[in-house]
Amino acid sequence: MFDFKGLSNAVIEGDSDQVQALVKEAIDAKVDPLTIINEGLIGGMNIVGQRFKVNDMFVPEVLMSARSMNEGIELVKPLLAAGEMTNKGTVVIGTVKGDLHDIGKSLVGMMLECSGFQVIDLGVDVSPEEFIAAIKENDGKVIALSALLTTTMLSMKSTIEECVAQGIRNDVKVIIGGAPISQEFSDQIGADGYAGDAAAAVELVAKLLENTDMVAR
C-alpha cells in the first residue's frame, strides 16, 4: 500500500525532493495517476489551504508547498489521458497595469490550479486589453485582478469598463484582491467579488461559477 500520508506531508512541508522521490515511487508501483494527484498531492495542499486560512501557515510556506505539489503533478501529467484532469473553468489572473507586485497573485494562481481550475497567469503590469485578449483566446470564465498600490487600483475599474466596451461583461466574472482592496471598493467599481486572501479567492471563484451556467464545457 502506497504511503499517501507521507506524500501529503512532504507537500505540506514544501519538500520538493521528497515529493518527487515519493511520486516516482508511486509511479513505479503502478499507482493510479489520478489517485497520486488527488490523495497525495492535492490532499496535502488542501491541508495547507486550511492552515493558511487560520494563520497557521504563511505566504512563503504556502508558496513552497504549492511549488513542490506542482513539481509532483508535472511528473504524473505524462501518464494521464488527455483531458483526464478536471478543469472546473478557466481563470485569467494578473497584476494590473502599473503594478509589479506578484507574490499574492502567484499564490492565488497556484491555489486555484490545486483546486482544479485552469489558470492563465499573465504576470504583472497587465493592461485591460491584455486581460480581454486572454479571456477571448482561452474561453476564460473569470478575470482575477490584483493590485498592491493604491495608485493602480483604478486600473481594475478600467479593466471592467473594457469588458463592457468589448461586449463580454455578461459572460465573465471579475474578482479583485490585494492589500488596499476592500469589499466597498469592489462594489464601487462593479466587480463580482472581493477576496481578502488566496483561500477566499478559491472559494469565491468556485461559488461564482457554481451560480452560473458558465462551468467548463
pLDDT of res. 142: 98
Write out the three cell numbers for 133.
485578449
**Cα(first)–Cα(last) distance of the chain, in Å?**
36
**Would you state the cell numbers that stand for residue 180, as one nine-digit string?**
488596499
Q: In what helix (H) or strand (E) does residue 144 lie, and over which residues does it extend?
A: strand 142-146
> Domain count of the chain?
2
- In order of 70, 84, 88, the CA distances from 17 in angstroms are 12, 26, 29
Query: What confidence tier does 116 reach under pLDDT thresholds 50, 70, 90?
Result: confident
Identify whether residues 122 and 194 lie together within a single domain.
yes
Residues 13 and 32 in one domain: yes
For 130, the domain range is 90-210
Are both 110 and 194 inside the same structural domain? yes
Q: Which of 24-28, 77-81, 197-201, 207-211 has the highest mean pLDDT?
A: 24-28
Q: Which of 116, 85, 102 is nearest to 144 (CA)?
A: 102
Question: In this predicted model, what pLDDT tens digit does every residue of 19-61 receive, in sequence order?
Answer: 999 999 999 999 998 899 889 998 898 898 889 888 899 888 9
143 and 114 assigned to the same domain: yes
State mean pLDDT over 4-17.
Answer: 96
Residues 200 and 134 in one domain: yes
Given a cut of 90, whether residue 81 has pLDDT beyond it is no
pLDDT at 74: 87
Domain boundary among 21, 52, 79: 79
Say whether both 35 and 112 belong to one domain. Answer: no
In contact, 16 and 67? CB cutoff 8 Å: yes
Question: Quick one: 97 and 163 in the same domain?
Answer: yes
User: What's the whole-number average pLDDT of the chain?
Assistant: 90
Q: In what order do the strands lie in the sheet with 90-95?
A: 118-121, 90-95, 142-146, 173-177, 193-194
CATH of the domain at 38: 1.10.1240.10
Of the chain, the percentage scoring pLDDT greater than 90 comes to 65
**215 pLDDT band (50/70/90 cuts)?**
very low
Indicate if 116 and 198 belong to the same structural domain: yes
pLDDT of residue 213: 53
CA–CA gap between residue 33 and residue 27 (Å, rounded): 7
Q: Which residues does residue 93 pair with via DSSP β-bridges, in sequence order?
A: 121, 144
Q: Give the alpha-carbon dihedral of 8, 9, 11, 14, to 10 degrees.
A: 180
CATH number, residue 177? 3.40.50.280
Q: For residue 97, tell me if it sits in a domain.
A: yes
Burial class (CB in 10 A: 0-12, 13-18, 19+), 29: exposed
